[in-house]
C-alpha cells in the first residue's frame, strides 16, 4: 500500500454516561483533542439525538475525527483519521479516553492509501519541482 494516512478506530466503554450525552462538552473535548494531536481544525458539527446520544465530526486540515455515543451503554465509538506526519492521533485518543472517563477501551490502527504491491509512505500532497501542489 502507498500509505497516505492512519485511521485509528477506538472503542471506549464503561464511560461516564452523563458526559456521553452532553453535546456541548463533547464538542469542546473533541476540538481540544484535535489541538492535542497537533492537527488543524477546519469545522465541527455535532448533533444530539432524542432521547439520548450524540454524533459529531471535527473536520481537520489533515482529515477528520468523529464520535458516536450510546449513553445507555456507557459506550462511544471514535475515529481518528489523519494524513501526513505532523499529527499524532494517539495523543487525541488518550485525551478523549481521559475526558470520557473510559475504564475499558480498545484501539485498532489501519493504514489508509492506494493499494499497491509494496508498502511505502507517500507524500500527503505531492509537489511539483516548482513547489506547487499537484492536483489530478
Dihedral class, residue 60 (left if φ above 0, else alpha if ψ from -120 to 50, else beta): beta
- pTM for the full predicted model: 0.86
* d(C-alpha 38, C-alpha 105), whole Å: 23
Q: In the annotation, is 83 catalytic? A: yes
Selected catalytic residue, list 83, 86, 102, 130 = 83
- What's the pLDDT at 18? 97
Selected catalytic residue, list 7, 55, 68, 124 = 68
Q: Could you tell me the three cell numbers for 77?
A: 465509538
Q: In the annotation, is 63 catalytic? A: yes
Q: In the annotation, is 68 catalytic? A: yes
* 75-98: average pLDDT: 95
> In this predicted structure, which of 70-84, 94-108, 111-125 has the lowest mean pLDDT?
111-125
Domain assignments of the chain as residue spans, ordered by start: 2-121
Q: Give the fold, CATH level 3, of 2-121.
A: 3.60.90
Selected catalytic residue, list 15, 63, 64, 102 = 63
CA 131 to chain centre: 29
- What's the pLDDT at 136? 44
* 118-136: average pLDDT: 62
pLDDT, tens digit, 9 for 90 and up, residues 23-47: 999 999 999 999 999 999 999 999 9
Q: Which residue has the cell 469545522?
A: 43
Amino acid at each position: 500500500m502507498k500509505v497516505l494516512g492512519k485511521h485509528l478506530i477506538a472503542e471506549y466503554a464503561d464511560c461516564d454516561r452523563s458526559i456521553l450525552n452532553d453535546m456541548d462538552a463533547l464538542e469542546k473535548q473533541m476540538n481540544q483533542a484535535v489541538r492535542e494531536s497537533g492537527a488543524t481544525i477546519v469545522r465541527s458539527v455535532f448533533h444530539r439525538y432524542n432521547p439520548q446520544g450524540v454524533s459529531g465530526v471535527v473536520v481537520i486540515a489533515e482529515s477528520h475525527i468523529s464520535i458516536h455515543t450510546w449513553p445507555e451503554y456507557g459506550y462511544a465509538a471514535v475515529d481518528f483519521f489523519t494524513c501526513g506526519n505532523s499529527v499524532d492521533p494517539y495523543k487525541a485518543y488518550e485525551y478523549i479516553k481521559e475526558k470520557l472517563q473510559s475504564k475499558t477501551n480498545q484501539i485498532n490502527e489501519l493504514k489508509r492509501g492506494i493499494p499497491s504491491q509494496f508498502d511505502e509512505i507517500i507524500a500527503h500532497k505531492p509537489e511539483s519541482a516548482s513547489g506547487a501542489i499537484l492536483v489530478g
